[in-house]
Amino acid sequence: MNKIILLSKRPVGKPTLGDFKFITEEIPVAKDGEILLKTIYVSVDPYLRGRMNDSKSYVPPFELNKPIQSSIIAEIVESNLSGFFRKGDFVIGNLDWKEYQISNGKGLKKVDESESPLSTYLGILGMTGLTAYLGLTEIGLPKAGETIVVSGAAGAVGTVVGQIGKLLGCKVVGITGSDEKVELLKSKFRFDQAINYKTSTDLKEAISKACPNGIDIYFDNVGGDISDAVLSNINKYARLPVCGAISLYNDTEIALGPRLQPIILTKSATMRGFIVSDFYEKFPAAIKQLTIWLKEDHLTNTETIIDGFNNIPQAFLDLFEGKNEGKMIVKI
């Protein structure tokens, strides 16, 4: 039988396992012009939380009692589609949380296991790697010698932002949620300094100490109190790519923080939100650069791989508990 995961309730606040439902059906058969896909790797991402709300955003909300979708690497196990897609090929696409599914090939891209391990196409050579590279270079505009602070530093986007910052000659300070992650950032990813926001009694002061020359770029993955503490330390002409706000995704009311206008004004700072697809036309060049850095060991890839289809919802929930280092992926 084929397993499928549906969104059964719209979460209120932090999502729970009760918001998901498992069902089974017969494994479908590919007709003429169709391929049968077997799910191999499933990406779980913080932005899926937004799609669980019934509200308008840059992607439409998931429908209740329909399968959840995310980026998936799948193997073509049957092909009745002539030409491009052959049995045994691997593809990536925005697909349903199903063990097996039918596709007509639309929206799918082939990925080559001999070029790079399949899971990397969901992370460092995929959406999160592109987000880090393009958000930092297009909005952060780093120059050698400048100081970059990145929040959510030990995650999929954060680890890549920090490493690229170092490659471009910047000083990099990461903010993350455990002492183990602080050590990992400094030892494995060559961050100059890292701060545990959960144990820091005065985050503003800790950031100021870690950045004696102030902050030129703040790559914001989390928003909220952490970002308030960073913003009080920015330099004149600072650039602030607003990539994510995970600390606020489960809020049921809009939090009131400090008013930012005086800081942005007096520091002549630029704060710019972005969705990675804003830079769509730059994807090929960015992937080329990331691939070179990865092959030449200038970038280290880190993934947290969870085993088993049944564990997809829990892996998603664990993103909000900081249980991942690097890209969170479920292997089927």
Which residues contribute to the site for ligand NDP (CB under 6 A)? 45-47, 127-128, 131, 152, 154-158, 176-178, 181, 221-222, 226, 243-247, 274-276, 319-320, 322, 324, 328
Burial class (CB in 10 A: 0-12, 13-18, 19+), 18: exposed
Residue closer to ligand NDP (CB basis): 81 or 248: 248
Q: Where are the alpha helices (DSSP H) in 148-257?
A: 156-167, 179-187, 203-210, 224-231
Taking the complex as a whole, the smallest distance from the CB of residue 252 to ligand NDP amounts, in Å, to 14
Which residue's CB is nearer to ligand NDP, number 142 or number 152? 152
Q: How do beta strands 2-7 and 20-25 pair? A: antiparallel
CB of 259 to ligand NDP, least distance (A): 21
- Is the CB of 91 or the CB of 226 nearer to ligand NDP? 226
Q: Which is nearer to ligand NDP, 38 or 186 (CB)?
A: 186
In the complex, minimum distance from the CB of residue 226 to ligand NDP, in angstroms, rounded to a whole number: 6
**In the bound complex, what is the minimum distance in angstroms from residue 253's beta carbon to ligand NDP?**
15
Residues in the chain: 332
Name the β-bridge partners of 324.
none
d(CA 68, CA 233): 40
- Name which of 246 and 290 has its Cβ closer to ligand NDP: 246
CB contact at 8 A, 180 and 255: no
Which of 142/241 has CB closer to ligand NDP? 241
φ, ψ of residue 148 in degrees (nearest 5): -110, 135
CB of 115 to ligand NDP, least distance (A): 22
* Least distance in angstroms from the C-beta of 162 to ligand NDP: 12
The CB-nearest residue to ligand NDP is 155
How far apart (Å, rounded) are the C-alpha atoms in residues 173 and 167?
14
Phi and psi dihedrals of 103, rounded to 5?
-145, 155
